Chains A and B, each alone.
Chain A
Amino acid sequence: MIDKRFDTVRSTVADIPDGAVVMVGGFGEAGSPIELIHALIDQGAKDLTIINNNTGNGEVGLAALIGNGQVRKMICSYPRSSHSKVFPELYRAGRIELEIVPQGTLAERIRAGGAGIPAFYTATTVDTPLAEGKEIRTIDGRDYVLEYGLKADFALIKCEQADRLGNLTYNKTARNFNPIMCTAATTTVVQARSLVEVGTLNPEHVITPNVFVDRIIEVTDPLIESRLIAEGITYP
């Protein structure tokens, strides 16, 4: 019988090794798998490469993982926000690497990685500093930049509903990068707000088909990042 459910959050991330490439879902706090990130902080893996649109807020979730010195490199589109101070300080001190990728190119690199497409051409970044050193191809009279697909060892994902097979639904704009990251990692770990019986989810409404999911843990009442920050809470 296929059963991807785990008993504890801790056990879902226990085997993430030092040096792993980890995709972390979310756009700001929406869709950020904060319990999985905190478990990764407790676990202590180092020299990680993290792929996320941002670099976290306050001193919880992704920002806390970075602040804990576990991240060697960030691949993201927008490493600034009004509540982001951990990453900027480390970056200015030369203690963390940054690969800046336009948001659409980041999404497409992840999508391509998950779809077995090693590289693609895009008009985004043509004639800008972000295209420097990259191959340019002219197709039908327009210039395009070569970009490579992205894959990861692990993806940490937050969803709304999951069944034991790994079919997933999401909530509003908390979907964002989560479904494409599910496709691009060797091991996809999901925290679900609720676990439902197989057959409950309407097949027409499943967003992530279960083939893309490996591990599921139910977190019924996840922490809300902005609330933690407003209350001055830090992690660990």
Chain B
Amino acid sequence: MNVTSTETKGWSREQMAELAARDIPDGSYVNLGIGIPELVAKFVPEGREFIYHTENGLLGMGPAPEPGQEDPELINAGKKAVTAVPGASYFHHGDSFTMIRGGHIDVCVLGAMQISQSGDLANWSTGAPDAIPAVGGAMDLVAGVKTILVISQHTTKTGAAKLVADCNYPLTGKNVVTRVYTDLAIIDITPDGFRLLKLAPGVTFEEVCEKTDAPLLPLIKD
């Protein structure tokens, strides 16, 4: 039994965020969803500059302030205290969603409840009868941002597949996701369905297939 390999199997939240950050081109205007996607900002590759948009009215969002420096009137879409970088601008919600819905934001990184093989995304509601629906800006982001990347655990806490043939949760948007970064693999959404792009350390293709509720095309070797 090799203990080390068990411990290093799969990717951590930080590693998933770092892999996504590497795929974002220099000069991109980026909107990060709440949760793991927020970690992407910590892993901007050397030599690249991203400008972060937060839909509550700030372009040029910086990291969280030092403790004690929080300003209740300077927050992000998750309502957490943030900072503004030099060159930042503030604007109202009409302008903010003009940026999103008008196709001016290049990349959005979101979390997911389910992703289908045709790129449908469900990330706002389980559809449970007693659930209080809360959509925020998610539907605007998937409708308007050019590239939608998803970071998510490969399965739910109870082991159910999140990558599925068809979503049974209410959709956020249809045919919107480009690429998914999970703890087990990076998977592209192609016209032919899910295709493996990269396996996490210690993870096999068969294991990813087993935990994916739709056909998975193998890596294209060049």
Contacts and interface: CB of A to CB of B under 8 A. Distances in A.
A129 B172 CA distance: 9
B52 interface: no
A128 B173 CA distance: 6
A177 B94 CA distance: 8
A81 B79 CA distance: 9
Given A111-B94, A173-B75, A180-B94, A27 B56 contact: yes
A30 B134 contact: no
A122 B141 CA distance: 12
A128 B124 CA distance: 11
Interface residues of B, number: 39
Interface string A137-178: 000000000000000000000000000000000111111111
B67 interface: no
Nearest to B101: A104
B165 interface: no
Given A30-B56, A98-B133, A128-B139, A175 B171 contact: no
Contacts of B172: 128
B143 A126 contact: yes
B58 A177 contact: no
A178 B92 contact: yes
A210 interface: no
Interface string A90-120: 0110000010111111111011000000000
A107 B93 contact: yes
A7 B139 CA distance: 43
Interface string B111-154: 00000000000000001001011111111100110000000000
Contacts of A101: 135
Contacts of A33: none
Contacts of A173: 54, 56-58, 73-75, 90
A172 B136 contact: no
Contacts of A79: 132-134
Contact of B96 (A30, A107, A124): A107
B132 A108 contact: no
Contact of A77 (B79, B84, B90, B134): B134
B128 to A, nearest CB: 12
A128 B171 contact: yes
Nearest to A226: B72
A125 interface: yes
B10 interface: no
B135 A100 contact: yes
A105 B138 CA distance: 11
A101 B136 CA distance: 8
Given A102-B137, A111-B94, A177-B92, A172 B101 contact: no
B171 A176 contact: no
Contacts of B54: 173
Contacts of A28: 75, 79
A180 B55 CA distance: 15
A206 interface: no
Contact of A129 (B55, B101, B134, B170): B170
A123 interface: yes
6 contacts: A77-B136, A92-B130, A98-B132, A122-B143, A124-B140, A126-B173
The 8 A-B pairs of least Cβ separation, nearest first, read: A104-B140, A104-B97, A127-B174, A107-B93, A174-B73, A103-B137, A123-B143, A28-B79
